[in-house]
């Protein structure tokens, strides 16, 4: 019996991928190019909206320190960085160099890459090295926080829907609303204070000075995990309330439908009705919002990351916007856009797997 169940499961997966999904994925991947192109236009021109540019901000900073900057020097700086060109010409040059930089260019000879993301004014080095430095850690932290959100919120939502108006339902709802109502940075400060009172260490930052110097090894990996607890709780709980309320409402709607009453009348176990039928239908809206959750976690926790001194992309983007470092800000937002598009694609595939009623081509079968 167990072997037959396994075969049915794998046959279901094979049949799933035999449908229109493969052609759908190919179409969506091909749509990535025009989508990212339009996003790049919006990003570049929105970043240019604040008055002035990097040279203006740099000169203002020098003037605040009592240094006089000659107008010719400022003009030379703008010419060196290409800031004297019209905005559309700056964009064309930026996107063209990202797509392909010739082998005989100075950038390729220096970095051995055909994709030139330009120069970061604020960090004094090429943009991609700044983004790459924290990209892996940012994606890792985002993935862990997202897993935490769903592992916490989905069981609570199922429990609350199957125990409606019980003390447990009220308690979980209150906890969920508190996670949303308390600003993340305030919650972070509270947890840092409690951590310092209980352990003598506020656990600020993801790395100790020793880790920054020598890297993460087995002997200090435990310390890294301890420092991850506060960011996971603070950022993770902020999104749990929405997931809990959405799944709970959907579950209550599914539980009251005719097919569940029919299943109960036929003697189907309650656990099977809840998890196999009601839950699969109830999480559709949550799964479809995966791309938006990914975007909010990737860059929406900037203030919290600054309070906790987290070495992820949020504070880098904030510094780039402050300094009007348009190439660095544009690169970070473009990476975020790619992740969101990929997240939406994954959510669409998951929806088709969870709900067989969804089809990607016209006509039912």
- Total-model pTM: 0.81
- Cβ-contact 179, 238 below 8 angstroms: yes
> Pick from 166, 177, 156: which is nearest to 286 by CA?
156
Structure tokens at 262: 């029919």
Q: Using the CB atoms, write b or e for 168-180: b if 16+ within 10 Å.
A: ebeebbeebeebb
Fold of 132-354: MetI-like fold (1.10.3720)
Structure tokens at 38: 């339009």
- Cβ-contact 251, 158 below 8 angstroms: yes
**Longest pairwise C-alpha distance within the chain:** 86
Q: Which residues contact 76 (CB under 8 A, 6 or more apart)?
A: none
Q: How far is CA 146 from the centre of its chain?
A: 9
pLDDT in tens, the chain (365 residues): 455 555 666 666 666 555 566 777 777 778 888 888 888 888 888 877 777 777 777 777 777 777 777 778 778 777 777 788 888 888 888 888 888 888 888 788 888 888 888 888 888 888 999 998 888 888 888 888 888 888 888 898 899 888 888 888 888 878 777 777 888 888 888 988 998 889 888 888 777 666 666 666 655 677 777 888 888 888 888 778 778 888 888 898 888 888 888 888 888 888 888 888 888 888 888 887 777 777 666 665 677 888 888 888 888 988 888 888 888 988 988 888 888 888 888 887 777 777 766 655 554 44
Structure tokens at 270: 């309650």
Domain boundaries, the chain: 51-84, 132-354
Q: Give the residue ranges of DSSP H helices in the chain.
A: 2-18, 21-47, 54-64, 71-81, 87-99, 106-111, 127-162, 167-181, 184-199, 209-214, 218-238, 240-255, 258-265, 270-272, 279-282, 284-288, 290-299, 302-307, 313-322, 326-354
Structure tokens at 178: 């508190």
- Cβ-contact 160, 169 below 8 angstroms: yes
Structure tokens at 159: 């429990």
């Amino acid at each position: 019996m167990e072997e037959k169940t396994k075969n049915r499961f794998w046959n279901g997966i094979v049949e799933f991928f035999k449908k229109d999904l493969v052609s759908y994925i190919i179409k969506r991947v091909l749509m990535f190019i025009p989508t990212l192109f339009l996003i790049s236009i919006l990003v570049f021109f929105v970043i240019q909206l604040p008055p002035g540019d990097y040279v203006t901000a740099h000169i203002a900073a020098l003037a605040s320190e009592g240094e006089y900057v000659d107008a010719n020097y400022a003009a030379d700086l703008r010419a060196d960085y290409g800031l004297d060109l019209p905005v559309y010409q700056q964009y064309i040059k930026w996107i063209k160099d990202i797509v392909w930089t010739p082998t005989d260019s100075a950038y390729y000879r220096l970095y051995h890459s055909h994709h030139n993301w330009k120069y970061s004014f604020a960090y004094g080095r090429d943009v991609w090295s700044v983004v790459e430095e924290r990209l892996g850690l940012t994606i890792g932290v985002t993935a862990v926080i997202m897993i935490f959100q769903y592992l916490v919120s989905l069981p609570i939502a199922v429990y609350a829907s199957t125990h409606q108006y019980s003390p447990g339902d009220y308690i979980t709802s209150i906890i969920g609303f508190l996670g949303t109502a308390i600003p993340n940075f305030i919650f972070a400060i509270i947890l840092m204070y409690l951590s310092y009172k209980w352990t003598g260490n506020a656990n600020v930052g993801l790395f100790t000075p020793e880790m920054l110097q020598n890297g993460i090894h087995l002997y200090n990996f435990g310390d890294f995990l301890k420092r991850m607890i506060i960011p996971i709780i603070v950022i993770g709980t902020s999104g749990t309330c929405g997931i809990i309320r959405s799944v709970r409402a959907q579950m209550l709607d599914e539980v009251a439908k005719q097919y569940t009453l029919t299943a109960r009348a036929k003697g189907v176990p309650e656990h099977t009705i809840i998890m196999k039928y009601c839950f699969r239908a109830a999480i559709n809206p949550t799964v479809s919002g995966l791309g938006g959750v990914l975007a909010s976690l990737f860059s929406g926790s900037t203030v919290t990351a600054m309070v906790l001194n987290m070495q992820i992309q949020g504070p880098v983007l904030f510094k780039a916007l402050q300094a009007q470092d348009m190439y660095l800000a544009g690169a970070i937002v473009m990476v975020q856009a790619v992740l969101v598009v990929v997240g939406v694609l994954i959510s669409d595939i998951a929806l088709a797997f969870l709900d067989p009623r969804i089809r990607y081509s016209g006509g039912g079968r």
